[in-house]
Amino acid sequence: MNSHSISFLLFLLNVILLTSCSNSNSNDRDHLVFRYNEHANITSLDPAFAKDQRNIWPTQQLYNTLVKLDKNLTPEGDIAQSWSIAEDGLTYRFQLREDVFFHKHGVFGKDSTRIVEASDVEYSLKRLTDPKVASPGSWVMANVKRIEAIDDSRVEIELKQKFPAFLGLLSTKFCSILPVEMEDLDFQEAPIGTGPFKFKRWEIGEKLVLRKNELYFKTDAEGQQLPYLEAVAITFLPDKQSEFLAFVQGKLDFISGLDPSYKDELITMNGDLNPKFAADIAMEKSPYLNTEYLGFYLDSETEEVKSKPFRRAINLAFDRDKMMKFLRNNIGIPAHKGFIPEGLAGRSKTQGYTYQPEKARQLIQDFKDETGISRPKLSISTNPSYIDLVEFIQKEVQKIGVRVEIDVMPPSTIRQKRSAGQLDNFRASWIADYPDAINYLSLFYSDNFSPNGPNYTHFKNETFDELYEEALSITEDSLRYELYSQMDSLLIEEAPVIPLYYDEVVRFRSKAVEGLGINPFNLLDLSEVKKTK
């Protein structure tokens, strides 16, 4: 063997040794990094723009709010140590904790920080309604008359009118607390919060890295400071199929939700984890505060849409249980009740719609006799992600003598046309912003007609409006929930919508991950997550 061959072999040996050491070091550190993918990309780390899951998840790691929700969706203190509510239900006074510090940043002095003060709370909440910010979360403060820092540790919020669910609103990530110094900083380069993780690096379209906040104010039950993880690494693989492949290859620690591209491989028809993944993957499900539905635009000139018997017939014409089993692998709960989803108090006590094709046919015959329309029809607008559901409904509804046309369009087009009242029937979903059923019932209050509010159906009913307004004035939960139930029952009777199913959160995680948990808002709380080696 000549000297060149020996040198080349030595070079190869060094490369192998270095690679081995590098992999070993990487593996030794891997249990300290939580990895997930955001296929839709992240548009902002400013909590004022945390309106959807892709932005909410990273802001959950970076910031805290005055109050948060516990496992039972009950408000508890976060940055606020305690609070009081005036007898008139209009004024809320919050006492802040004195051990909450912002992430270290040069804006506070070299490698320095400072404690959170009431002026920061006032600044953070007021900026939601600042026209220069143009936050999509400005509605959260719509009922707020005054926000005032009384001193360094106390802040007072006065409402225009009573709203018993206000504390739940303050738990949304829109209401995250920032330092007043953020006024002069860029959220892409220096988002400063108080959360369990702090900003490290953001390569747009490539990776977002958050590092452990060594000043985080929370501890576990044994008094150990949180978080346990050293870092969070978020990648931006562009599609759900790539995300799934990275997960099963062990490159990601968890995925949330199901996509048609992989659902039949990952879970069985009955909604259980495919046994071939059982050794390495754990699956968890929970009711999700999300109602999937078809909505009728009641100000339409179309006779079918204006007819309550017709709307009730469509509700009775298809088998929701069958739909969920074969099209959603039983992930989700068939909507046999009203519009309020599983997991919230105040649902209707009366039975909703079940599969009754004969009754549906009779209602259609009644409609024909009343209107003289011999060939009734329905046009359903949907985006491509739900075409399988709508085609199933189309086939079933046609069996009762109704022609169904499907209009497929991009989600943005549906949102625009739905708001403008240009769609007779549209597929939509409503995901709760806060844990109170009034959030769902607001879609049917007549003062909320679109395009200025979320009442896309233009449903108007005097009894409903009276119950809604009365509920806003009642602070006692049990009495308020009774009114909610009456409103939900009224929606079943009048049928402005066709509830399809109440969604479920479904998560798949590596069995090396502990403490992730699951919740009805599908929030990603990594503050108590551990990974085993």
For residue range 264-294, list pLDDT tens digits in order. 999 998 899 999 999 999 999 999 999 999 9
pLDDT digits (tens, 9 = 90+) for 182-198: 999 999 999 999 999 99
Cα(42)–Cα(55) distance, integer angstroms = 6
- Are 335 and 192 contained in the same domain? no
- Are 456 and 517 contained in the same domain? no
- CA angle (68, 452, 385) in 5-degree steps: 70
Which is nearest to 390 in space by CA: 413, 407, 412, 403?
A: 407
Q: How much is the pLDDT for 27?
A: 54
- Are 527 and 495 contained in the same domain? no
Instruction: Identify the CATH number of the domain in which residue 180 sits.
Output: 3.40.190.10
Residue 448 inside a domain? The answer is yes
- Are 522 and 423 contained in the same domain? no
| 5: CB partners within 8 A, 6+ apart | none
- Are 215 and 291 contained in the same domain? no
pLDDT digits (tens, 9 = 90+) for 362-387: 999 999 999 999 999 999 999 998 99
- Are 527 and 480 contained in the same domain? no
Residue 247 inside a domain? The answer is no
Average pLDDT, the chain: 92
- The dihedrals phi and psi of 53, each to the nearest 5 degrees, come to -55, -40
User: In the predicted model, is pLDDT for residue 158 greater than 70?
Assistant: yes
Q: How much is the pLDDT for 515?
A: 95
- Are 318 and 181 contained in the same domain? no
DSSP-assigned states of every residue in 266-330: HB-TTSPBPGGGTTTEEEEEEEEEEEEEEEE-TT-S-HHHH-HHHHHHHHHSS-HHHHHHHHHTT
- Are 185 and 84 contained in the same domain? yes
pLDDT digits (tens, 9 = 90+) for 106-124: 999 988 999 999 999 999 9
Residue 12 inside a domain? The answer is no
- Are 500 and 521 contained in the same domain? no
Give the length of the chain: 533
- Burial letters for 232-245: b for 16+ Cβ neighbours within 10 Å, e otherwise? bbbbbbeebeebbe
Instruction: Identify the CATH number of the domain in which residue 497 sits.
Output: 3.10.105.10
- Higher-scoring residue by pLDDT: 402, 260: 402
Residue 37 inside a domain? The answer is no
Residue 31 inside a domain? The answer is no
Structural domain count of the chain? 2
Contact 226, 218 (CB under 8 A): yes
Q: How much is the pLDDT for 533?
A: 72
Residue 460 inside a domain? The answer is yes
Residue 252 inside a domain? The answer is no
Q: How much is the pLDDT for 486?
A: 97
Q: How much is the pLDDT for 29?
A: 67
pLDDT digits (tens, 9 = 90+) for 54-105: 999 999 999 999 999 988 888 999 999 999 999 999 999 999 999 999 999 9
Q: Give the residue-averaged pLDDT of 316-332.
A: 95
Q: Give the residue-averaged pLDDT of 451-471.
A: 96
User: In the predicted model, is pLDDT for residue 128 greater than 50?
Assistant: yes
pTM equals: 0.85
Q: Give the residue-averaged pLDDT of 506-513.
A: 96
- Are 114 and 215 contained in the same domain? yes
pLDDT digits (tens, 9 = 90+) for 200-237: 999 988 999 999 999 999 999 999 999 999 999 999 99
- Are 181 and 90 contained in the same domain? yes
Q: Give the residue-averaged pLDDT of 466-476.
A: 93
> Angle of helix 477-494 relative to helix 462-472, nearest 10 degrees?
160
Other CB atoms within 10 Å distance of the CB of residue 465 = 16
- Are 217 and 303 contained in the same domain? no
Residue 1 inside a domain? The answer is no
Q: How much is the pLDDT for 338?
A: 95
Domain membership of residue 463 as a residue range: 287-504
